[in-house]
Structure 1
């Protein structure tokens, strides 16, 4: 289909090329590197990057290229994502809340403060000179976009985020696809931090303040500590206070600060504020998976370079699912049961029962609800089901 469309435009005199490669070496980084090797790329100054499910508007280049033309220090213009299937199921609504915070706060603040922010891997335009100076695309981790952005930033290139420019795309709506995506998004940054820490410290081109920002704020706090602290606090420390009464968590630590952080995360999606409780439970369960992926990245364990393309259903499979709506999806233990989530749910449920019998803080209310969330996701009953 894409090839036919390119041929149609080429027949009208438009200079357009359709290129594919016959291998998956280097995955996405390898594909991007291969694409920039073509001879006609030497005539180009900029490259726009879109994943397969992204749908840019016809005026996308008109609204991005002028920033690069008029500011030679600008290496990247990043657009915001707009989700076409956010209302498909509860899981996509939860994803929308998390990603809206990322774009509304993290990307917007980084751009407005002229500080570093990461490339999202798609819906952006790069200056080819910035890519070349930074050393090109590298496949040493599963986050080639973040890798290039960090290296380009260390070379002195500036980035711009356009929150007013939105590109339509699709969220993963099956739990299996979402888990694979989150593993890559959590494991990759941790592994990149391990590989680039010394390089960032030794860099003499950027100021000490920028080094601190990239190492501490961008990597350590947002990509490592955020996942681990969420899981340790909600799923280890809080339940442990039931079993060990001597451990006491003050209200400001157990209620006030987590509540403020949660509200700040949800403020980017006001239409979903009524789903805040579900979002907390969902994120706490996913923090287990993200924490595991983070340690895999830091330790360079078995699945550190696992790259599985995030499955998007699209209209074709959704239609297929609708036609088979009356058929009950087959339960496949290997694909649907997640033992780590079930074990954590059992631990929280036990702590809840213990709190009813011996506790005084009424933590069992939270513990039972969170345990149910772990059980639901542990058995894979979340997201969209595609009949086999």
Structure 2
């Protein structure tokens, strides 16, 4: 109806949808690019369904592409409308702030490769076609296209001051599915593109090393595995095997410094230009920074819990297991669903089954950590039991489903 209203005013606009899910999002994008009117267009802008761009979005992005013929992509930053809905969404905001402030913004500033986020971006169609278009061989079609375009010599720019409103997944189930796709997809793409990148004669050695080692191997594979194995397997195991000792600088000091730097660098309003901040705004920014810092412990514990699923998903992607190409749309509750939930809850409290909330992997890992904590409290000397009990509690909380907004089935 909205598109018809604009079309009646003379605006050239079409609303189209397909009747199947072949190829999932990549398939939908590929079908869209086959339309006849695309031949008369130079650029394509992509938004997921829950994104709310401002009216001036194109005015602030397209000029970069017009005036820079070697530029393929302009990527905007995400702004979350429901980050204060629950503790889980607040922690997600902290993690994604780090992704945008460090990985995307630094990559753009140093003219190094960074990935397309799949939404809130404008592509040059000629670059998209030269790179081979959208492919559905993995669940990260956005990263796949970005890597192929980069290998063709195209460049990207990230606009940190252009923010597009969107919604974070607020249920644990939706967040787990999202994290599975975001961890499994890159690992599977790494498996499929490793030789293609290494054998590319048009790309210099430094760029190959950066994409293969830094972007894929370290950030998309090793980071998840090391987090889970070190904090949830090795440290607890050293309690049971006292002959093995981890230096405190490796177990405590360095990880603590890295975590503090991440949190300090990603306050809630950290991307505001300091030259434009008034005295009042400076106080507000300082307050928002403290809002991130006091959540550090929760952030660390929750990220360690999620590293269990990210590690599992990474191995599934590397080994191309049964769920490697599984695509489950990330559920977003939205204002309409929340209103319906509140109305139903007021009429009749929903009943929930215990099985709806139980997650056995988390409960099993929590039991292992709790046992190691008890053993260390009784016989150990390093006081690791303080961390082990906290981490075990975090696993139990997630394992019992007491995280995020719960929607009864």
TM-score of the alignment, normalized to the shorter chain, above 0.5: yes
* 1:83 aligned residue: 80
- Aligned positions of 1:205-216 closer than 5 A: 205-216=202-213
Structure 1 CA distance for aligned equivalents of residues 113 and 351 of structure 2: 46
- Aligned positions of 1:193-342 closer than 5 A: 193-267=190-264, 268-269=266-267, 270=289, 271-325=291-345, 328-342=349-363
The yes-or-no answer on 1:128 pairing with 2:131 is no
**Match of residue 178, structure 1, among 175, 178, 184:** 175
* 1:143 aligned residue: 140
2:188 aligns to what SS in structure 1?
helix
Query: How far did 1:379 drift?
Result: 1.4
1:310 aligns to what SS in structure 2?
coil
- Aligned positions of 1:142-161 closer than 5 A: 142-161=139-158
The yes-or-no answer on 1:115 pairing with 2:98 is no
CA contact under 8 A between 2:301 and 2:394: conserved in structure 1? yes
Query: How far did 1:158 drift?
Result: 0.2
2:242 aligns to what SS in structure 1?
coil
1:317 aligns to what SS in structure 2?
helix
Deviations 1:112-146 (A, max 9, x none): 01010000000000000011000000000000000
Structure 2 CA distance for aligned equivalents of residues 218 and 333 of structure 1: 41
CA contact under 8 A between 2:352 and 2:408: conserved in structure 1? no
Query: How far did 1:337 drift?
Result: 1.4
Deviations 1:276-322 (A, max 9, x none): 00000100000000000000000001110010000000001111222
Tell me the TM-score normalised to structure 2 length.
Answer: 0.93
Structure 2 CA distance for aligned equivalents of residues 289 and 113 of structure 1: 32
Deviations 1:2-48 (A, max 9, x none): xx100000000000011111100000000000000000000000000
Structure 2 CA distance for aligned equivalents of residues 279 and 265 of structure 1: 11
Structure 2 CA distance for aligned equivalents of residues 328 and 282 of structure 1: 29
**Match of residue 4, structure 2, among 7, 18, 30:** 7
Structure 1 CA distance for aligned equivalents of residues 351 and 183 of structure 2: 30
Where does structure 2 lack aligned partners over 5 or more consecutive residues? Answer: 268-288
2:160 aligns to what SS in structure 1?
strand
Deviations 1:135-162 (A, max 9, x none): 0000000000000000000000000000
Structure 2 CA distance for aligned equivalents of residues 26 and 202 of structure 1: 27
The yes-or-no answer on 1:366 pairing with 2:363 is no
Structure 2 CA distance for aligned equivalents of residues 54 and 180 of structure 1: 19
Query: How far did 1:325 drift?
Result: 4.1
* 2:286 aligned residue: none
- Provide the alpha-carbon RMSD of the alignment: 1.0
Structure 1 CA distance for aligned equivalents of residues 138 and 263 of structure 2: 30
The yes-or-no answer on 1:162 pairing with 2:159 is yes
* 2:364 aligned residue: 343
Aligned pair count?
Answer: 385
Structure 2 CA distance for aligned equivalents of residues 77 and 252 of structure 1: 41
* 2:272 aligned residue: none
Structure 2 CA distance for aligned equivalents of residues 324 and 38 of structure 1: 43
* 2:280 aligned residue: none
Structure 2 CA distance for aligned equivalents of residues 154 and 133 of structure 1: 11
Structure 1 CA distance for aligned equivalents of residues 247 and 349 of structure 2: 47
Structure 1 CA distance for aligned equivalents of residues 304 and 406 of structure 2: 22
Tell me the TM-score normalised to structure 1 length.
Answer: 0.98
Shift in CA distance, 192/335, structure 1 to aligned 2, threshold 3 Å: farther
* 1:383 aligned residue: 404
